[in-house]
Amino acid sequence: MVKDNDQGTAANLPFLALSAPGFSTKSGAVFAAREQHWCARTPLGLAVLSYDHVGRLLRDRRLRQGSYAWPQSQNAQGSFAAFWQRSVISQEGAGHKQLRQVALAALDEGFILSLVPAFDAIAQRLCDGLKTRRECEFQRDFALPFSGQAICVLLNLPLRTWQSVARDASTLGLAMGLNYKTHEDEVNAACDRLMHLADQLIVSAERGEDREGLAARLIGAAQKFPKIGRKELLDLIVILIFGGVDTTRSQLGFLMALFDRHPMQWQALKCDPSSVPNAIEEAIRAWPTTTWVTREATESFVYDGVEIAKGTTLHLLVHVSAKDPALGPLPEFDITAKQRRHHGFGGGAHHCLGHFVARTDMASALRALVVVLEDFEIIGTPRYLADSGNTSPEVLPLAYRLAPDV
């Protein structure tokens, strides 16, 4: 239950049909709602629409991560639901803090930067493939194989295994949609295969056969925490595979779609390749693969005039918040502009564990692409998942010209 002290009752808040098929966070209804209030009612709880409120609520200790209850809300059964409720995403308090400490120690900056030559080599090989033609389906021909092979580098797996790893990671993404039940069997099967892979990685590390991959690093980092055992390490590996493949694949596609809409920005990047990190941040701000993150109230409290009852779900619309007029004039996409910090990787205690991996491997991909492609455009009919929850380009057909000197 939500009550607005200034406007009377929750009925006076704007309403958004967040759970409706085809709902888009880009719709005029969303921006109209933000003009009325910083939040809106939805069938799934509150939607938070302003930049400042999203930032503050991401860090509010009266809220817990909200997607822990997603499988239950979908009446999910089987291995994925069990994994999700055990995973670091669903944990809070001391246990959650320890899991994050282990993961972040394993993914420290020095280790990730040591992988950049391998990320660069993957991107270059895929760009070499683009040189043999003048059209491609970008998600199939670059984004997916790049993200799949990059996660193999992180795991110290042979690159030839990327297709099965990427396929199963992408299948887990189906669990985040409103039509989850129609995919439940394949999601559970993919979860089982990734758990088996994680187990093999841990066995290899325990035998000393792998001393450099993520599993070995997780085992080493976990030595300080007796309560973190094999099951917790398996879950960490699977969640990092899931997030690693899906985020990079999706965000690379959105990055190229934005450059298609703003071709002068591509030319600006070609003139100044050092802008690659800025371009990635701007793409995450302008078109993030995660359009909202969820939190749940662990107690009843009043926040900026709105009474929020214990158990209320808050959907923090990070995409909408990045376009808040309160931030001042905002370009749709400008890689040279100095923007305020976006919330595309969440924030607070549940800030994305793999954000530095994603930023680093996407930078390798973009550095290679900007050298090889003189310009490009989307042709045919691209296909995107709905702009709600986790979204992604599914099909992104491109025609392109090669740079003269490649």
CATH code of residue 278 = 1.10.630.10
pLDDT higher than threshold 50 for residue 7: no
Q: How confident is the model at residue 164 (pLDDT cuts 50, 70, 90)?
A: very high
What percent of the chain is predicted at pLDDT more than 70? 97
Question: So what's the pLDDT on residue 12?
Answer: 84
Question: So what's the pLDDT on residue 68?
Answer: 84
Range of the domain at 346: 2-402
pLDDT higher than threshold 60 for residue 186: yes
Q: How far is it between the farthest Cα atoms of the chain?
A: 66
Question: So what's the pLDDT on residue 8?
Answer: 37
Mean pLDDT of 291-315: 94
pLDDT for 252-285, tens place per residue? Answer: 999 999 999 999 999 999 999 999 999 999 999 9
Question: So what's the pLDDT on residue 4?
Answer: 45
pLDDT higher than threshold 60 for residue 9: no
Question: So what's the pLDDT on residue 404?
Answer: 94
- Polymer length in residues for the chain: 406
pLDDT for 203-260, tens place per residue? Answer: 999 999 998 899 999 999 999 999 899 999 999 999 999 989 988 999 999 999 999 9
pLDDT higher than threshold 90 for residue 3: no
Q: How confident is the model at residue 178 (pLDDT cuts 50, 70, 90)?
A: low
Mean pLDDT of 153-161: 96
| Average pLDDT across the chain, whole number | 92
Question: So what's the pLDDT on residue 192?
Answer: 97
Mean pLDDT of 380-396: 89
pLDDT higher than threshold 80 for residue 140: yes
pLDDT higher than threshold 90 for residue 340: no
For residues 330 and 160, give the distance between their C-alpha atoms in angstroms, rounded to a whole number: 43
Question: So what's the pLDDT on residue 319?
Answer: 87
Q: How confident is the model at residue 149 (pLDDT cuts 50, 70, 90)?
A: very high
For residues 219 and 267, give the distance between their C-alpha atoms in angstroms, rounded to a whole number: 45
**What pTM was estimated for this model as a whole?**
0.93
Q: How confident is the model at residue 11 (pLDDT cuts 50, 70, 90)?
A: low
Structural domain count of the chain: 1
Question: So what's the pLDDT on residue 10?
Answer: 64
